[in-house]
Chain A
Amino acid sequence: MGRIKEILRLTAQIKKQSVSMQRRLLLYWFSMVLAIAAALLLILSVAGVFNNQSQKVHETLQLQLDNAQIQLEQHMESLEAYTIALSEQISRELDSLLTENGMTVADLNDNPELLQRLQENLMPRLYMALQLSRCSGAYLVLNATTNTSSDKASHSASGLYLRYANFHAKGAADQDVVFFRGIPEIARAERLELHNRWNLEFDTDLFPGYDAWMQTEVGRLADSCRWTERFRLTDTWEDVQLLCVPILDKSGKVCGLCGMELSSLYCYLSYPELNSSFGPIITVLAPVEGTKLLLDKGMNGSADGTFLTDADTLSIRDGRYFSTYSSGSDRYIGLHSETEVLGADGGLSVAVLIPESTYAACRDTNRLVLILCSLLLLATTAGLSVFLSKRFVQPILQTIQAIRSEEVTGEGETGISELDELVAFVSSRSNAKALQRENVLPPDMEELFRSFADRAKTLSTAERTIMKYYIDGHEITEIPELAFISIHTVKKHNSNIYQKLGISSRDELMLYIDLFRRLDRLNELTDTP
């Protein structure tokens, strides 16, 4: 309690101490600056400028995720629609051919002529499906083989597989198609090149899930569209995912598969990375298992400018604004969402990813810019406060200095009316004191004396001699004797003297002479001009 009292006492003493006007003004300015800065910070934080890089990146990611999801779902849906139509066409063609020949699907085995006829009939449909769809290949495979006695008959199935040889995402109008699987005569008739690793039939052991498909009971085709997981297409340099839609015989049993191929290159070219202010945004369509995003089983857009590879499996950690995806060596931020696209083991998710390092660098840069901006604002306003305070007190100081050196004239010189008034007041008081101290006449009096002295200079020599006698204290009657002139002449001179000096009587003259004497300025009246 005693200590508080002591502090209060000290504060009171400090308050009583005199503080310079500039310092006080500076303090006011600075308080105002701080108040403005605080208000600005409040407004900015309410507006979400601070911190909300996370919010901004979330918005960017969400927008891209929504776009990518729509784009991918439409793409996949259109492929599914084409493939369902293709499957139905194949079923009709198959049914028609088998009915015409009185055969069943099983009779296609060991019947190369019929298989060739069937492939000839189906080739235009497959070719058209390939050209109309946004895909890198199209295939159809029937559960029958040319030669059941061949060593590989148990895992060999006849079919057609066309692929683009040199795919470019932008235009599919005139792209080279190669004949990957099928009867070579059909390729030659169509003037198509055989693939460098052409084979007559499909090796079903290499076709993911083929055997399971052949055992599947299928209701509606639309409910039976599935994408395989990504796998390396044997004898090629590309990874692919195949859309599988069953081909049904007339009894509704699965007798083959058809579908479209999406190669990793197709996805790379079709879904380029998007440049955002936070870094490149990569789009992927891949399965999520638990907390893992399996890129090695999905279709990935271009990841140019990042270290992301198709082989990565990313561990997901959810966050408030975005999830973090870690490959072990690299981290990404992003969002993902389940799509309607079905993979082998359930739905596939679309994910959009940004390298965490580019995001963090942009975020840190923004923070630093903000801090530097604040510092700059503070420094500028502080500097401005000092400058304005100085500027404000400068005339006061100058006036004080002038007063000290007694150079003030009392006229408005500072440009500040209050100050001029003060100066005038101080000046008048100091003038009065000076007059008192140094017999200095007030200006109007001085003027009066000076004009009188000037007029005295107009007197003639005789008149000045007469006035000199008055100054010396002689009476009018003594002057004729002293000056050797008549009294009449003296009176005449007197009359001239009064007229020239602007007075009317000798008493008035004597009053002036008395005043000049008191001021010790008689010489001004007696000195010859």
Chain B
Amino acid sequence: MKRFLSILLCMLLLLPAAGCDSAREEQPITLTIWHVYGGQTDSPLNDLIEKFNQTVGKELHISVQVTSVTNTNTIHEGVLAAANNDPGTPELPDMFISYPKTVLAMPDEEILVDYRDYFSEEELSAFLPAFIEEGTIHDRLVILPVAKSTEVLFVNKTLFDRFAAETGVTLKDLDTWEGLYETAVLYAQWSGGKTFFVHDYHFNYLQVGVESLGGTFFDEDGIAFSPAFSKAWEPYAEAALQGGVWLYGGYATEPLRTGDTIASVASSASVLYYSDIVTYSDNTSEEIEYIVRPCPVFEDGDKLVMQRGAGICTVRSTPEREKAAMVFLKWLTAPEQNVELVTRLGYMPVTQEAFDTYLPQAIEELEDPKYRELYRAFLQTQEEYTFYTSPQRDDYLAIETSLEEQVRLLLSAAAKNYQAGDDLKAAAQAVLQELKTYYGK
């Protein structure tokens, strides 16, 4: 009797919770993610997420919901605002794409999952060690590498060929920064004032340029303004003053889409945003072809190029949600999915097996000539260049944002005032001095 009663009591105590909860366990766990792979266009990662939701996710009752596709800087601001619980900010998603700079700036890194708690040593050893090292902050692996990119030169071949046919310039001229800026000035003269070239990140140009010339870009206070900085600055500023460099904000893909520029240095991942059609101001359109080449270098500089590509952070929640996120991330970084993702986005994979076994075949199967061009340039870069990774600094984003802004503003203002025949070098130096003054140097 006593046993019967105790069993009855236990059942009574456990049932109300167990009944509803067990039914909810059968419903999917929905994980949210903020990512950067696709911008405002069709997103290959969204497609893969849908594939996951329909296959592995459906089987294991996990659903991934994209709640933002943007860029790393916007995510940086959003994550910091959410982590600080600023008014009007949304809750942190379960996963977000981030560079180390974001994690370093967070008020509490402990809110992120240490992937070593969920990935075995064997699983982690599949990743390229440098990427794992990059994602390790204060001895915790908080950024899981997903895709890596570099900077390359995109050229609107259709328009460049017209220009080259009349002026005799060649693509080879674009191998060096000096050659590229000369070509840009020539194009402005040839086209009646149109801009030849757009940098996606002026900041990256100056940073990698200085480092490739043997200088140091950063010092303790911020930017070092070493002699190498001046050397990288001169040809660039001189071309900008003569209308050869696009100085408006926004991404490099924008002026190429409107035909306002015909060459750009941007992340390999921007291939997704380059349109094969240029639309002019009279609403006529033209189909174009692209050529992709390794990033230009200085004539007497090292072949150094920026390596980019953020990783995925997972926010601590409940063990069930964290485990569900790991199921998704392990699936996403498995070589097959990883190569499918990166080759649609213009990135490189992050595991050795993906590089060795899946990537060569995936490149062979690429149908879009723009992507074939990209991976040709990508592999050439990998063979000939040394990759440069930005240092982990708390103030990295602040310096990046302010330098981008100042360079554009100062050069735009100077370009408006510059008249043909003015002392070009003096004008370029004057802008540099203004820039130094702004930074108190």
A residues with a Cβ closer than 8 A to B are 112, 145-147, 150-153, 156, 163, 165-171, 173, 176, 178, 183-184, 188, 191, 193-201, 235-237, 265, 268-269, 277, 279-280, 302, 304-307, 355, 357-358, 360-362, 364-366, 368-369, 372-373, 375-376, 379-380, 383
Contacts and interface: CB of A to CB of B under 8 A. Distances in A.
Contacts of B285: 150-152
A194 B250 contact: yes
Contacts of B38: 237
A195 B279 CA distance: 14
Contacts of B16: 365-366, 369
Given A176-B70, A200-B283, A279 B27 contact: yes
Interface stretch (B253-261, B304-312, B387-395): B253-261
Given A166-B78, A372-B8, A379-B5, A358 B40 contact: no
Given A193-B254, A200-B279, A357-B27, A368 B15 contact: yes
Contacts of A171: 87-89
Nearest to B69: A237
Nearest to A232: B42
Query: What are the 7 tightest A-B residue pairs by CB atom distance, in nearest-first order?
Result: A365-B19, A171-B88, A361-B23, A304-B30, A166-B70, A146-B283, A194-B254
B214 to A, nearest CB: 36
30 contacts: A112-B282, A146-B281, A165-B40, A165-B74, A166-B68, A166-B74, A168-B90, A171-B88, A176-B70, A183-B281, A194-B254, A200-B279, A200-B283, A235-B41, A236-B42, A237-B41, A237-B43, A268-B65, A269-B90, A305-B27, A305-B28, A355-B27, A357-B23, A360-B23, A361-B20, A361-B24, A372-B15, A375-B8, A379-B4, A383-B5
Nearest to B43: A237
Nearest to A265: B67
A235 B66 CA distance: 17
Nearest to B39: A196
Interface string B18-41: 111011101111100000001111
B250 A305 contact: no
A358 B273 CA distance: 43
B249 A193 contact: yes
A348 to B, nearest CB: 24
Given A357-B27, A369-B16, A167 B68 contact: yes
Interface residues of B, number: 58
B257 A198 contact: yes
Nearest to A233: B40
Residues of B contacting A: mostly = mixed
Given A150-B284, A372-B11, A184 B258 contact: yes
Contacts of B5: 376, 379-380, 383
Contacts of A380: 5
Nearest to A379: B5
Interface in B269-322: 272-273, 275, 279, 281-285
B40 A152 contact: no
A195 B24 contact: no
A60 to B, nearest CB: 14
Nearest to B275: A197
A237 B42 contact: yes
A358 B42 contact: no
Contacts of B258: 184, 194, 198
Nearest to A193: B250
B137 to A, nearest CB: 25
Contacts of B29: 305
Nearest to B38: A237
B251 interface: yes
Contact of A156 (B28, B89, B283): B283
A355 B24 CA distance: 9
Contact of B254 (A146, A167, A198): A198
Contact of B27 (A170, A306, A360, A368): A306
B74 A199 contact: no
A196 B253 contact: yes
Contact of B70 (A165, A195, A305): A165
Nearest to B29: A305
Contacts of B88: 170-171, 173
Contacts of A193: 249-251, 254
Nearest to B254: A194
B119 interface: no
Contact of A199 (B1, B15, B254, B279): B279
Contact of B8 (A306, A362, A376): A376
Contacts of B273: 196
A150 to B, nearest CB: 5
Given A112-B282, A176-B70, A365-B15, 11 more contacts: A146-B283, A156-B283, A171-B89, A197-B41, A237-B41, A279-B27, A304-B30, A357-B23, A358-B20, A365-B19, A369-B15
Contacts of A366: 16, 19
Contacts of B253: 196
A195 B27 contact: no
B103 to A, nearest CB: 20
Nearest to A180: B40
Interface string B307-346: 0000000000000000000000000000000000000000
A331 to B, nearest CB: 13
Interface string B233-261: 00000000000000011110110011010
B9 interface: yes
Nearest to B249: A191
Which of A163, A200, A360 is the most central at the interface, judged by chain B CB atoms within 10 Å of its CB? A200
A375 B12 CA distance: 11
B130 to A, nearest CB: 30
A424 to B, nearest CB: 39
B46 interface: yes
Contact of A196 (B19, B26, B40, B66): B40
Contacts of A156: 283
Interface string B65-81: 11111100010001000
Contacts of B90: 168-170, 269
A167 B88 CA distance: 12
A188 B408 CA distance: 13
B89 A170 contact: yes
A365 B8 contact: no
Nearest to A307: B28
Contact of A168 (B15, B41, B89): B89
B268 to A, nearest CB: 16
Contacts of B22: 361
B78 A369 contact: no
Contacts of A201: 283
